[in-house]
Amino acid sequence: MIYLVRLMITIEVTQKVLAPAEQVNQVLLDHLQLGRFFNAKFKLIKIQNKGELIGGKGAIRQISIGKIVFEEEIISATNEHICYRIVGNWPVSDHQGDIQLTSFDVDNQTTQLDYVIKFNGPKWLPAFLLKFFVASDISKAMKKLAEHFADRHISVENIA
């Protein structure tokens, strides 16, 4: 008898961003604008719980990637950390994303972003293939995020 064992897929991406952690956090919790970075469309289904950061804990966003549509819920959010999960078990199961934002220099103008995603893929899709495509999308999105702040940083220097 053959048993298929699903291994938890883990993706880790680190990115330096030329902005304070609080600004990076605000951009990442601006759900309706995330399409600037990710290859997906975002719709806000539910706003954050009362007393939470804007876009933070309790917020639910709908994500459309082609014909695949699913929802993510923000589980917790502070200026240094965002944790979210896919609601339900589609298109992947046991999904959780954690984004840690750490000041990288003394004047808090550079942030190190550590993004870790863990999930189980569907049985019919090879894990290495799913990991490759998701990791590639996340890496590209974090580079676009860094470019967004680098462009703003250059624009501010040109004004000054």
Residue 116 lies in a domain: yes
Return the pLDDT at 158.
46
Residue 2 lies in a domain: no
Average pLDDT (26-50) is: 97
pLDDT mean across residues, the chain: 90
Return the pLDDT at 137.
95
**157 has pLDDT over 60:** no
- Structure tokens of 68? 């695949």
CATH code for the domain of 61? 3.30.530.20
Q: How far apart are CA 23 and CA 108, in angstroms?
A: 11
Average pLDDT (53-73) is: 96
Residue 112 lies in a domain: yes
Range of the domain at 75: 9-159
Residue 37 lies in a domain: yes
**54 has pLDDT over 60:** yes
Per-residue pLDDT band at 6 (split at 50, 70, 90) = low
**159 has pLDDT over 70:** no
Per-residue pLDDT band at 1 (split at 50, 70, 90) = low
Look up tokens 């189980």; give the residue.
120
pTM for this model (two decimals): 0.88
Say which residues have a Cβ less than 8 Å from residue 120's Cβ, sequence separation at least 6.
6, 7, 8, 9, 92, 93, 94, 95
Per-residue pLDDT band at 40 (split at 50, 70, 90) = very high
Return the pLDDT at 74.
98
Sequence length of the chain is 160
Say which residues have a Cβ less than 8 Å from residue 86's Cβ, sequence separation at least 6.
70, 71, 72, 92, 95, 119
Residue 32 lies in a domain: yes
- Structure tokens of 140? 């590209």
Strand partners, 98: 83, 116
Give the type of residue at 20: P
The count of structural domains within the chain is: 1
- Strand order of the β-sheet with 9-17 is 9-17, 111-120, 93-103, 81-86, 68-77, 60-65, 41-46
- Structure tokens of 56? 């933070």
